């Protein structure tokens, strides 16, 4: 049987479009609408469901219409209406409760900012516009750079912090025993040195002595993968002669060539004094109108410091191979042998006006040339210093002088950088670590190269074969720098260097004739000047014995060699 669908009557409006205006027509039309069609107005915030379901089968428990309320519009059995969903609600009260519980309106408002925390406390009255992400990154970088610069500034100003004071007091005492009869004349803090500046004109060479061997360029190609064993040069003689024992300086003093006499090593120690941590001393002799800057026999200046400016404390036991003294002896031995190994074997030599003034006839002398140079400090004062270079190389058909020195690695756990892993790929990081741990030693090497007017300074990287073997070493690399460029890189100002020397020379020239000693305080960043007896530091002067490590320094160097 086919049902008939009745559309109902549609009134005709002869006056135009739309429904008729009369109320009667509207009422009559409304009676012809389908029955049981509910009118359910809704807002946009409500959830919409089904409009009608003609295919549903009501459950028997819900088919009894006796308890059902009538529909909103009209009368009749609501269970017969495809638009009535009340049966479903009663028969299945929580058919899918997650749908209703998970339904919520979307709030497009930004979440409220918390009123607690540093931003609200300090910036609540200071509204800021949102920044772009790249601007925020740049701002963070600038803040990090400012913080890094502040830490560096504090580090440089406070070198004598508590850790360093504790370490110096525990490891190093004064380099010379202060006697009760010594009279302290003055003490100068290093803070005054940083403000000094003095410019000197170009110096002149008075004399060059000795002979130089050529540098072997094949060492520039050494890497940790093709390392070379460090050799020993037992038969070659190395000299550490002080100023007044130099026959050339004595001759120049008799000829009245200058007023102040020193060596390059002593001048470099004074020039880099603000970077020093360990104690050192320089003997000052005022003779007539002349001034001689000397070092004692067995002085600390004869050895190279290791990890002097590092924050990591070294073992305090004297017999430990990683103690400060043992490392100084080892570094001096490495430096001497390295300076001779990088030369061309049995090659040509460059000889100068006079032979080595300290060698005896028939001695096998290390490759070294002594340049006696004179600087003008003022109209009435000149300074002569004996400076050293270790090798020579031909560059564009011209001979260039070289200084050769070696940095040594003893145990990576102290420096935090393993040279065998980092030297080839991160050489800058290795050098930066050495500049942090050995700032004074590198500054003194640079100052000596500038004083000697060397064209190039070669730095070698030498490491132990094994961290517990301090007799056998390997060369991992060699790098060359121009001295003045390297000085700028490590913030070594030549005007400040000469300002320190000029101020100390002016101070000493005001002293009476006699002998004095300039001592770096072992625990404070300052130097003291003592007046000492004329026979001090000589064999006939009865004083406290030198520290045991200084007495054994030469013997231990011979044992290494």
Give CA–CA dist 214/130, Å, rounded: 65
List strands edge to edge, sheet with 398-409.
228-229, 469-481, 456-466, 398-409, 391-395
Average pLDDT of each block of 10 consecutive residues along the chain (561 residues)?
A: 67 76 51 57 61 59 47 46 51 48 59 55 48 68 80 63 44 81 92 92 93 93 92 88 94 94 95 94 93 90 90 80 90 93 88 90 89 94 95 90 94 86 89 93 96 95 92 94 94 95 94 94 92 79 42 46 49
DSSP state of 314: P
Task: List beta partners, residue 464.
Answer: 473
Give CA–CA dist 296/107, Å, rounded: 85
Give CA–CA dist 90/246, Å, rounded: 118
pLDDT for position 551: 43
Instruction: Give the pLDDT confidence of 496-539 residue by residue, as tens digits.
Output: 999 999 999 999 999 999 999 999 999 889 999 999 998 888 75
pLDDT for position 316: 77
Instruction: Give the pLDDT confidence of 407-441 residue by residue, as tens digits.
Output: 999 988 887 888 999 998 888 899 999 999 999 99
pLDDT for position 146: 81
Is 393 in contact with 402 (CB distance < 8 Å)? yes
DSSP state of 218: G
pLDDT for position 70: 45
Question: Mutual orientation of helices 494-509 and 264-271 as an angle, nearest 10°?
Answer: 100
Count of CA atoms in the C-beta half-sphere (13 A) of 198: 18
Is 261 in contact with 291 (CB distance < 8 Å)? yes
Give CA–CA dist 225/229, Å, rounded: 12
Closest CA to 392 of 451, 445, 351, 443: 351
DSSP state of 95: S
pLDDT for position 348: 85
Q: In Å, how far are 173, 390, 492 from 447, measured between CA atoms?
A: 26, 15, 8
As a whole-number percent, the residues of the chain with pLDDT over 90 amount to 48
Task: List beta partners, residue 286.
Answer: 291, 514
Paired tokens of 155 = 């580090």
pLDDT for position 495: 94
122 phi-psi bin (left φ>0, alpha ψ -120 to 50, beta other): alpha
Closest CA to 209 of 386, 54, 17, 45: 386
pLDDT for position 122: 45
Residue 233, burial from CB neighbour count under 10 angstroms (0-12, 13-18, 19+): middle
Give CA–CA dist 533/311, Å, rounded: 38
């Amino acid at each position: 049987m086919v049902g008939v669908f009745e559309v109902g009557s549609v009134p005709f409006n002869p006056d135009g479009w739309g429904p008729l205006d009369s109320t009667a027509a509207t009422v009559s039309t409304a009676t012809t609408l389908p029955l049981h069609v509910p009118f359910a107005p809704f807002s946009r915030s409500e959830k919409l469901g089904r409009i009608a379901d003609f295919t549903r089968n009501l459950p028997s428990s819900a088919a009894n219409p006796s308890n059902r309320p009538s529909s909103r519009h009209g009368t009749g059995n609501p269970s017969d209406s495809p638009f009535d969903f009340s049966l479903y609600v009663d028969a299945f009260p929580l058919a899918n409760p997650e749908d209703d519980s998970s339904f919520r309106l979307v709030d497009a408002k930004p979440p409220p900012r918390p009123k607690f925390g540093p931003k609200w406390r300090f910036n609540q009255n200071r509204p800021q516009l949102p920044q772009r992400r790249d601007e925020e990154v740049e701002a963070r970088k600038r803040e990090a750079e400012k913080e890094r610069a502040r830490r560096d500034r504090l580090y440089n100003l406070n070198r004598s912090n508590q850790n360093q004071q504790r370490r110096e007091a525990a490891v190093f005492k004064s380099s010379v025993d202060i006697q009760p009869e010594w009279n302290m004349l003055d003490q100068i803090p290093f803070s005054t040195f940083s403000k000094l500046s003095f410019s000197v004109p170009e110096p002149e060479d008075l004399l060059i002595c000795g002979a130089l061997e050529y540098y072997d360029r094949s060492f520039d190609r050494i890497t940790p993968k093709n390392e070379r064993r460090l050799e020993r040069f037992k038969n070659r003689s190395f000299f550490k002669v002080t100023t007044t024992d130099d026959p050339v300086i004595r001759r120049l003093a008799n000829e009245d060539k200058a007023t102040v006499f020193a060596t390059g090593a002593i001048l470099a120690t004074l020039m880099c004094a603000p970077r020093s941590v360990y104690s050192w001393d320089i003997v000052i002799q005022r003779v007539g109108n002349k001034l001689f800057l000397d070092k004692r026999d067995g002085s600390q200046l004869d050895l190279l410091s290791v990890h002097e400016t590092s924050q990591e404390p070294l073992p305090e036991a004297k017999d430990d191979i990683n103690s400060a003294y043992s490392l100084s002896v080892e570094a001096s031995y490495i430096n001497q042998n390295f300076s001779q190994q990088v030369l061309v074997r049995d090659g040509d030599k460059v000889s100068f006006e006079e032979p080595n003034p300290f060698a005896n006839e028939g001695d096998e002398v290390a490759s070294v040339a002594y340049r006696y140079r004179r600087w003008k400090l003022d109209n009435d004062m000149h300074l002569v210093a004996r400076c050293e270079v270790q090798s020579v190389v031909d560059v564009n058909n011209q001979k260039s002088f070289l200084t050769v020195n070696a940095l040594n690695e003893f145990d990576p756990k102290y420096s935090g950088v393993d040279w065998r892993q980092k030297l080839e790929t991160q050489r800058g990081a290795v050098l930066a670590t050495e500049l942090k741990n050995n700032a004074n030693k590198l500054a003194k090497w640079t100052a000596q190269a500038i004083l000697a007017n060397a064209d190039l300074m070669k730095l070698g990287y030498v490491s132990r074969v094994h961290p517990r073997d301090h007799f056998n070493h390997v060369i991992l690399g060699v790098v060359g720098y121009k001295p003045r460029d390297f000085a700028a890189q490590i913030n070594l100002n030549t005007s400040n260097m000469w300002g320190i020397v000029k101020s100390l020379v002016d101070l000493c020239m005001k002293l009476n004739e006699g002998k004095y000693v300039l001592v770096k305080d072992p625990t404070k960043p300052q130097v003291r000047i003592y007046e000492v007896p004329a026979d001090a530091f000589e064999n006939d002067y009865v004083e406290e014995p030198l520290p045991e490590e200084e007495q054994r320094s030469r013997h231990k160097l011979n044992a290494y060699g």
